[in-house]
Amino acid sequence: MKVTREQAAANREKVLQAAGRLFRKHGFEGIGLADIMKAAGLTHGGFYGHFDSKHDLAAEACERALDASRKSWIEGSPGADLETAVRKYLTPRHRSDPGRGCLFAALGSEVARQPRNVRHAFTEGLRSTIHAIAELLPGPSAASRREQAVATMAGLVGAMILSRAVDDAQFSDEILEAAAAVFSRTN
C-alpha cells in the first residue's frame, strides 16, 4: 500500500519519535526495530525504506531528541536562572520518565560503545547544552563560567543516573535533593 509523500514523511517522523523515546527507555540494545516500528504504527519490513541501519536510526533519533530536550529544558524559557534549570532537571518526574527526558542520563554510559555517528550526535548535543548552561552562570570570566557549566552538567547527569540506578526510593530522593542543593549554588 503506497502512501502520500507527506504521509511517508510523517511516518518517518513517527519512527524517529518512537525510536527516541524507546531507546531512552530501554537502551540501544534493549529495544528492537520491530517494536520501534510497531510503536510508530508500522510494520518492521518498511524500516529500510527510511533508514540504512539501526545505527543510523539511533544517530538521527538522538540528534532530534537532544535538540528537543535542550529546547524544552533551557532555551525554551529564556531569562530563567541556573537554579531554575537545575531544579527543573532534578525532579522525580524526570527520574521516572527517561523516555521523555535527558538523553545523556538515559543512555550516557552506553554511548561510548556506540558507532561514530551516534557518538558524534551526542558530542554536538553536549556542546550546545554546556554552552546554554554557561550562559546562565555568573562568574568573573568566560573560562570560569564554562568550567562551572561543564562540571554542573556532569553533576546533573551523574545525579540523575545514580538516582535511577538505586533501588531505594529514599536514597534516590536524597541524591536528587543533594545535587539540587549543591549545583544550584552559584558561588
Nearer to a second copy, 8 or 137 (CB): 137
Contact window for DNA (CB under 7 A) among 43-51, 76-84, 95-103, 161-169: 43-51
Containing 16, the helix (H) or strand (E) segment is helix 5-26
Q: How far is the CB of 25 from a second copy (least distance, A)?
A: 9
Contacts of 130 (CB under 8 A, 6+ apart): 146, 149, 150, 153
In the list 24, 27, 39, 47, the residue contacting DNA (rule: CB under 7 A) is 47
Distance between CA atoms of residues 48 and 54, nearest Å: 9
Smallest separation, CB 54 to DNA (Å): 4
Alpha helices in 40-81 (DSSP H): 47-50, 54-70
Q: Is 36 in the site for a second copy (CB under 8 A)?
A: no
Coil/strand/helix, residue 52: coil
62 binds, among a second copy, DNA, none (CB under 5 to 8 A by kind): none
Based on the shown chain and the rule CB under 7 A, indicate whether residue 13 belongs to the binding site for DNA: no
Taking residue 169's Cβ as centre, other Cβ atoms within 10 Å add up to: 10
> Footprint of a second copy on residues 152-171 (CB under 8 A)?
153-159, 161-162, 164-168, 171
Q: Which three cell numbers stand for residue 165?
A: 540506578
Among 112, 128, 137, 142, binds a second copy (CB under 8 A): 112
